[in-house]
Amino acid sequence: MVKILIAGGTGLIGKHLCKRLQEKGYDVAILSRARNKKGTIPTYIWDLEKKEIEKEAINRADCIINLAGANIGEKRWTDKRMQLIIDSRIKTGELIFSKIKEQNKDLKTYISASAIGYYGTKTSDKIFTETDPPSKDFLGETCRRWEQTANKFQELGIRVVKIRTGVVLTSEGGALSKMIIPVRMGIGSAIGKGNQYLPWIHIDDLCKIYIKAIEDIEMEGAYNAVAQDHKTNKEFTQILARVLKKPFWFPNLPAIIIKLMLGKMSEILLSGSRISSDKIEAAEYNFLFPELEIALHNLLKK
């Protein structure tokens, strides 16, 4: 039985992925800052500040999935918060790498989360692919360094896969739960110009892509994890309103209001480009939810 160790396994994506892996018969354990004695998944302790990971956690793993990282949309981007966003991604990867090397562990696969922020906060008609260079803005530089840390594992002969994820749609929590609120109140509207694209993916598809990355030894390098149904912010909100049987008639929410509310973090709402899913599809991945309306119906009926 393949043994999987997940860093960030208690987060939104991690919980779903742990469940899917267990359903497929994988032996799953997670890294956490506190032991969960009541949980059904074994927990090993790690401490980023002390640079410690329980030795058995590394020794048991055939594959490590690193989902760790502070939520970019949770709080305003102060200098302190932006540094935390970077450190929570880079330092976790560096710690795992150092322990793998120290214990001379023969790890088969290292899979790292990444994000479509790699391509930066911009709006254009270009469709970005995995061959495009990283943007030089905050998110682009964060993702570049994030992936650079993952690439270190290749020095140890370990297969590395990086999953550049779009907005993850789930039935509980996450971005969708926030987007639903004004629509359910009957005041749904586009944000800013409304022409910025919102690359998205259903949580079930994201979990399946991670599982494919474990099982398909031909997969290596970066893959965009986004559905091929490109929708602008306005189109997304219109479809959400239709699925919820709510009106969509309010004027666009001015960008200046978003900027005043969120500061620099407003970039992630006011910009967005199309992201290609060609590479993951060429690896013979077939999306469960390739269209937004179908995905929303599936999630909201729950």
In the chain, pLDDT over 70 holds for what percent of residues? 99
Q: What tokens does 61 get?
A: 């793993």
Give which of 209, 215, 231 is closest to 288, Cα–Cα. 209
| pLDDT confidence band for 301 (50 / 70 / 90) | confident
Is residue 107's pLDDT more than 90?
yes
Confidence label for 270 from pLDDT (cuts 50, 70 and 90): confident
Q: How confident is the model at residue 122 (pLDDT cuts 50, 70, 90)?
A: confident
Q: Is the pTM of this model over 0.85?
A: yes
DSSP 54-106: -HHHHHH-SEEEE-----TTSS---HHHHHHHHHHHHHHHHHHHHHHHHTT--
State the pLDDT confidence band at 249, using cuts at 50, 70 and 90: confident
* Per-residue pLDDT reduced to its tens digit, 139-185: 999 999 999 999 999 999 999 999 999 999 999 888 999 899 999 98
**Residue of 19 and 262 predicted with greater confidence:** 19
User: Check: CATH 3.40.50.720 for 3-234+260-300?
Assistant: yes
Residue 124's pLDDT is 78
Min mean pLDDT across 98-102, 133-137, 183-187 is at 183-187
Domain edges within the chain: 3-234+260-300
Parallel/antiparallel/unpaired status of strands 27-32 and 43-47:
parallel
Question: For residue 37, is pLDDT > 70?
Answer: no
Using DSSP bridges, classify how beta strands 109-115 and 63-66 pair: parallel, antiparallel or unpaired: parallel
28, 8 Cβ separation under 8 angstroms: no
Per residue in 196-218, pLDDT (tens digit) is: 999 999 999 999 999 999 999 99
Average pLDDT, the chain: 94
